[in-house]
Amino acid sequence: MFFPTRPHYFSHRINQEVKEIYWNAMVVNLALSITTLFEPIFLYRLGYSLSGILHFYALVYLGYAILVFLAAKITSRIGYKHSILVSNIFYVLYWVLLYQIKFHPILFFIAPFFFSLQKSFFWPPYHADIALNAKDDQRGREVGLLFSLIQMVSVAGPLVGGFIAAFLGFKELFILSSVLMLASVYPLFRSAEIYPKHNFRFRNFLLVIRKFPVNFFAYWGYAEDLMLMSLWPVYIFLVVPELLGVGFLITVASAIAIMIMLYIGRVIDQRKWGKFLQISSVFYGLTWFCRQFGSGFGQVFFFDSLTRTGKAMINVPMTALSYKLAGISGADQAIAYTVFYEFSLSIGKILTALLGIWILDTTGNIFYVFIVAGIFTMFYGFLKEKK
């Protein structure tokens, strides 16, 4: 049991599989927190425009929307844990190709394909594993604890990444993250592989769409996530044009969201998620509307803190409900719903990227793109437990 002096805020008697996922997620997100923030900045420093960076991520999610179905089929044969191992290998290959873009520009169109493969082999089994093993009476707390652990290991990551990128270089940054990414699978294999008795069928995916049609659009709220991994880091870099400074800003802002996630997890377990999710989606969406006022270090820090707080308020109830819907009918439902989840958010991100490209090419105003992202972020509020 974590933090026994406050048992009502934390999960208890956690399933062994969930514990392994916690450890895996901590190491994975340490690797990601070191590197992810600086990937779009790396592309920007190579001379790619904001529109070009959105093109890159549009290719990622176009590939993801197609490959996730094939990966789900393969996952049912090789098992959840081996699928996650494969995904980590693809992540390392992606970072190798990303770094090589500076020498071979054609890789700008190839690297996104490997990122798509990583996502396709990672997210559906990751989600399905938690959905099948989390306890119904503390699902919110388990998700809240998961995100809090991720935040705790991620707090120092941007600062470390900024230091390495500034004083050693992007090559060393990608190497360190690659080592951590490969090491992250060790906790998963401390117990036997999971070979769920299911066979992913496209028919099951279509049944999920018919059963939860509104949720297809609700996951378009992940437009904000696209901004966090593409344009927002570059904008921070434009305001704070030092890699170490960017890392410091994100590190301090990240620390704010940790306790919020734990509290939200408890609220969700008390069955108060519906209204809370709707209010949070509007609040978080509005933070994107106000980015035009973030013209200095203090303002950018304020909005990034709001971003991480708003994302915490959204992530816990949205993810807890998604795991509940995925885990209600066994392994077939779990893999079908998680593929639906990832496909839906991919379509939302593709649409957001295309609109962003059009806006940037037409007006050159990044804040209009943030407004579009804010509108889509509010779609999270449409997420429903029933049709």
The predicted-structure confidence for 42-96, as pLDDT tens digits, reads as follows 999 999 999 999 999 999 999 999 999 999 999 888 888 889 999 999 999 999 9
Tokens 């190497």 locate to: 175
pLDDT at residue 339, rounded to an integer = 96
Q: Which residues of the chain have pLDDT under 70?
A: 1-18, 133-148, 151, 191-198, 245, 247, 249, 252-274, 387
> What pLDDT does 136 receive?
53
pLDDT of residue 9: 41
How far apart (Å, rounded) are the C-alpha atoms in residues 13 and 100? 46
Q: Is 177 exposed, middle or buried (0-12, 13-18, 19+ CB in 10 A)?
A: buried
Nearest-5° Cα angle at 249, 222 to 224: 10
Which pTM was predicted? 0.88
> In this predicted structure, what is the pLDDT of residue 266?
58
